[in-house]
Structure formats: C-alpha cells, structure tokens
C-alpha cells in the first residue's frame, strides 16, 4: 500500500512538472509571436512615415508649381464681362458692352409723332492698360455709320495726383451727363445735359484732368477741347469746361453731394451752329429749339457760356437730385440770349437697396442687386426757357418705375407729359426699355 501511494505521488509530481513545462513553452511561443507582430507593426509605421515624408515633398513641390503657374500665367476672368491680364501684369484688356432696346408710344397733340422702336444704344467697349497707360475704345452701333458711333476713345494715365485723359470723351460738366447711361434714373437725361443745353455736344476731342480726394469727399475736373466730335468736320472752335464737387456727408448709408460747373465754347471758323434744344415729350417726340449760336461774322462774338449748380441727397431707399444751368448764347448781331434750365428728380427703392455714390467721379450709380430683384419708383420735373424770346419755354413731367433684375439687366418704364408754351403742344409718351450691360 505504501508503495502504491509513493508511486502515485511520483507520477503526479512528474505530471505537474510536465504541465509547467508545457505552459512555459506556450508563454514563450506567445511572447515570440507578440514580438514578431510588434516588429512587423514597427516596420509598417516606418514605411508609412517614409511615404508621408515623400508625399509632403511632393505636396510642397506641387504647391510651388501651382503658385508659380498662377503668378506667371495669363489670367482670364469672366465675372461681369471678359478680362485678360498678362502674367507680368503689364497688360490688361476687358471687353464689355450694353444693349438698350426701346419702345415708344405717343398720345400726340399738335406736333406729329410716330410710335416706334429702336436700339437706343448698342455698344461694344474695349478697355485696359499697357505699361501703366489706360485706354478705352467704345463704339455705339446704334448711333449710325462711319464715325457717328464713336463714344469714349482715349488714352489716360494717373499722374499729378489725378488722371490725365487725352482723346474723345465727355467734358467735365453736368452731373447727370457724367452719369453712365446704364445708371441714369430715367430713360433720357434732363435739360442740363447734352439732351438739352449742350445738345449734340456730348463727346469732344481734347485733354482733361480729374482729381478725387483720398477720402472720397471731393473731385476737381477740367478739360480743354476742340469743338469737334468724331463724326463732325474739322473746326477751329475751342472750349473749356470745369467741374468741382464736394460730399460733406458720405458715410455709406447717407450722402450729401454739392457741385458747380462752368463751360465756355467759342465757335470760330468751321464750327457748326450750337443749340439748346428740348425734347419735351421724350425721345423721338417733338423738339423745340430754345436758342442758337452760329459762327457767323458780326458785331458780337459767337460764344456760349454756361454755369451750373448741382445738389443731391441719398439716405437709405430715398434719393433726390437737382441741377440748374444758366447759359448765354451769343448772337452775331444783337445781344446774347439767356437760357435757363433746371430739374428735380428723385426715387424710392421699394424692397431694399440704395443708390451708390461714386466718389471718384462725383455721381450716383445704380443700386447693388444681390439675390433678388429691386423695384424703384422714379419722378422728375424738368424745364427749359429762353429768357429773351417770348414764350420759348418747355416743361416735362416724367413718372417711372425701374426693375433691376440682376446686376446686368434692368427694365425701365417711363410716362412723360410735355408742354410747349411757344406752340401750345401738350403731347405725352409711354416708353419701355430693356437694358442689358456687361
């Protein structure tokens, strides 16, 4: 019995020893496997780090190449038009244009009228820069043939604290005349512009200088010119015009604008007759000549002097603007004839938006259109009179509405009631414009 017990104890001891040995072997194997996995994981981490470093080098190189490409390649932009800029920034060219298509319907009184349609403006504009010089070439295909369509055609450069312009451009006179036709309040300009007292003399050939205040509160402009526009014959007539503006209030939401201008024109040899005229019932309606100056030889000089005053105020959706122009139209024999013209116009934005003041030129532009169209109610009262000729006076009252569809497109509807004291004519006109500009 003792022998069996001893044998059993020995057997159990050997079995325990064997189990311990097997467990140790299993732990060693497991530990070895874990070490192997760690080694493989470390190798993969190393490989990923090497790839990341390589990719970083590639990314840096790619970014450098893209930056070099962006700064050393011709840049083309298409927002609002087409603009191309050279890689060295020495050259720029922009292509723009405008289409103004009008429909006119009259309720005639005495003078004959014709209901009609027309392309009021159909312009293409090429502008840009070359080695610091600016240029602009604009032609209106709706104005006629040959040179009749030339509008702005000049070169310019910033110097002497302002901008010097040489070529064919508008003299610095009349606030509404200097406002772009894309942004004027009504379909046609009032009597203080080239529609009235400066009739037929919108663009002249000469040299001009315009300076604007650094903080946007003033402008000073002066121009000297030959009394010849692009389509007219050569002439020895000369002129001078100057305009100064001041905006004592201009804080982004409220603007008060004041200004004055003066224009002198001496007809001399070869200059066509200069007139002040009124289209008192809208474009393509009857016209009344208010005063005329010719280059005929006589006792007096054949010259025209015009001085003007202007004021405007905008606050939020409200806008009002007024101008006065008084002119002296010389007569070859006899005293000069005095002409006065003035207007008051205003608008109210119905659903947001406000008139934008342009301090660089001292005029108001169209409201900024974002994600919705803007509606604007408009009104103007306008009159012109020859103080030395009996009953030579016209008056126009215009009511309208503008719908700004987007930054490039606008619809305009105007109703005009005209009155001619000289003839007793009292016609009216309804006019509609579809306008697209880029």
Tell me the average pLDDT across 171-199. 98
pLDDT > 90: percent of the chain: 73
pLDDT of 298 higher than 80: no
Q: What is the pLDDT of residues 322-341, one digit of tens each?
A: 999 999 999 988 889 999 99
Sequence-ordered list of residues with C-beta below 8 angstroms from that of 259, at least 6 positions apart, any chain: 175, 243, 244, 245, 246, 309, 310, 311, 362
- 348 falls within a domain: yes
What's the pLDDT at 31?
77
Quick one: pLDDT at residue 295? Answer: 86
Over range 166-182, report the average pLDDT.
98
Mean pLDDT over residues 367-385, rounded?
A: 95
Answer for the pair 221, 185: CB distance below 8 angstroms, yes or no: no
Give the residue ranges of DSSP H helices in 142-258.
175-178
Is the pLDDT score of 396 beyond 70? yes
Does residue 12 lie within any of the structural domains? no
Q: Which domain holds residue 236?
A: 75-437
Question: Are the C-beta atoms of 277 and 295 separated by less than 8 Å?
Answer: no
Burial class of residue 25 (count of CB atoms within 10 Å of its CB; 0-12, 13-18, 19+):
exposed
DSSP 8-class letter at 303: E
> What are the tens digits of pLDDT across the range 99-109?
999 999 999 99
The pLDDT of residue 19 is above 60: no
Query: What is the model's pLDDT at position 297?
Result: 64
- Look at residue 1 and tell me if it is in a domain: no
Domain annotation covers residue 163: yes
Whole-number pLDDT of residue 348: 98
Q: How confident is the model at residue 29 (pLDDT cuts 50, 70, 90)?
A: confident
d(CA 171, CA 167): 11
Residue 181, pLDDT > 90, answer: yes
How many domains does one find in the chain? Answer: 1
pLDDT at site 194: 96
Q: What percent of the chain has pLDDT over 70?
A: 88
pTM score, whole prediction = 0.82
Report the first-to-last Cα separation within the chain, whole angstroms. 118
Q: What is residue 233's predicted lDDT score, i.e. its pLDDT?
A: 82
Q: How far is the C-alpha of 135 from the C-alpha of 156, rounded, in Å? A: 6
In a domain, 20, yes or no: no
Distance from C-alpha of 80 to C-alpha of 355, rounded to nearest angstrom: 20
pLDDT at 353 over 70: yes
Please determine, for residue 59, whether its predicted confidence score (pLDDT) is greater than 70: no
Read off the pLDDT of each residue in 419-438 and give the average, rounded to a whole number. Answer: 98
3-state secondary structure at position 24: helix
Quote the pLDDT of residue 40: 78
Task: For strands 303-315 and 409-420, give the pairing.
Answer: unpaired
Q: What is the mean pLDDT of residues 376-381?
A: 98
Confidence label for 216 from pLDDT (cuts 50, 70 and 90): confident
Q: Tell me the per-residue pLDDT of 220-272, one tens digit each, with 9 for 90 and over.
A: 999 999 998 888 888 889 999 999 999 999 998 999 999 999 999 999 888 88
DSSP three-state, residue 188: coil
Whether 22 is covered by a domain: the verdict is no
Residue 324 lies in a domain: yes
Query: Would you say residue 61 has pLDDT above 80?
Result: no
Given a cut of 60, whether residue 1 has pLDDT beyond it is no
Q: Is 142 left (phi over 0), alpha (psi -120 to 50) or beta?
A: alpha
- pLDDT confidence of 98, banded at 50, 70, 90? very high
Q: pLDDT tens digit string along 185-194?
A: 999 999 999 9
Identify which has the larger pLDDT, 61 or 382: 382
pLDDT tens track for 104-153: 999 999 999 999 999 999 999 999 999 999 999 999 999 987 788 999 99
Question: Which CATH number characterizes residue 102's domain?
Answer: 2.40.160.10
d(CA 314, CA 245): 16
What's residue 268's pLDDT? 87
Q: What is the pLDDT, as a whole number, of residue 56?
A: 62
CB 129 within 8 A of CB 112: no
pLDDT mean over 44-49: 75
Mean pLDDT for the chain overall: 90
- Domain assignment present for residue 387? The answer is yes
């Amino acid at each position: 019995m003792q022998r069996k017990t001893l044998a059993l104890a020995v057997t159990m001891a050997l079995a325990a020893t064997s189990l311990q040995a097997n467990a140790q072997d299993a732990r060693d194997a497991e530990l070895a496997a874990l070490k192997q996995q760690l080694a493989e994981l470390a190798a993969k981490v190393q490989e990923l780090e090497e790839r990341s470093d390589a990719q970083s080098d590639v990314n840096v190189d790619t970014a450098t190449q893209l930056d070099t490409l962006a700064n050393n390649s011709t840049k083309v932009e298409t927002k609002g038009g087409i603009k191309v800029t050279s890689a060295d920034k020495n050259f720029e060219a922009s292509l723009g244009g405008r289409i103004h298509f009008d429909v006119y319907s009259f309720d005639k009184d005495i003078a004959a009228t014709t209901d009609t349609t027309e392309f009021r403006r159909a312009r293409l504009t090429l502008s840009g820069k070359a080695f610091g010089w600016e240029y602009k070439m604009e032609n209106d295909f709706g104005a006629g043939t040959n040179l009749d369509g030339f509008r702005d055609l000049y070169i310019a450069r910033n110097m002497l604290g302002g901008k010097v312009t040489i070529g064919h451009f508008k003299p610095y006179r009349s606030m509404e005349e200097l406002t772009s036709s894309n942004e004027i309040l009504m379909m046609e300009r009032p009597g203080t512009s080239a529609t009235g007292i400066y009739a037929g003399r919108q663009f002249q050939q000469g040299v001009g200088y315009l300076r604007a205040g650094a903080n946007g509160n003033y402008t000073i402009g002066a121009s000297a010119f030959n009394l010849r526009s692009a389509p007219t014959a050569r002439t020895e007539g000369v002129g001078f015009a100057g305009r100064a503006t001041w905006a004592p209030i201009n804080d982004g939401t409220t603007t008060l604008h004041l200004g004055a201008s003066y224009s002198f024109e001496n007809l001399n040899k070869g200059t066509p007759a200069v007139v002040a005229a009124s289209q008192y019932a809208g474009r393509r309606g009857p016209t009344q000549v208010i005063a005329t100056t010719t280059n005929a030889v006589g006792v007096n000089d054949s010259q025209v002097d015009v001085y003007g005053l202007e004021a405007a105020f905008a606050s939020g959706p409200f806008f009002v603007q007024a101008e006065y122009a008084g002119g002296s139209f010389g007569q070859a024999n006899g005293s000069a004839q005095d002409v006065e013209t003035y207007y008051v116009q205003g608008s109210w934005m119905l659903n947001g938006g406000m008139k934008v003041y342009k301090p660089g030129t001292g005029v108001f532009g169209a409201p900024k259109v974002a994600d919705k169209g803007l509606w604007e109610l408009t009104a103007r009262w306008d009159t012109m009179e020859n103080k030395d000729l009996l009953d030579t006076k016209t008056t126009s009252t215009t009511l309208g509405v503008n719908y700004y569809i987007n930054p490039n497109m606008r619809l305009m509807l105007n109703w005009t009631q005209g009155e001619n004291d000289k003839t007793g004519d009292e016609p009216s006109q309804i006019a509609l414009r579809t306008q697209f500009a880029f």
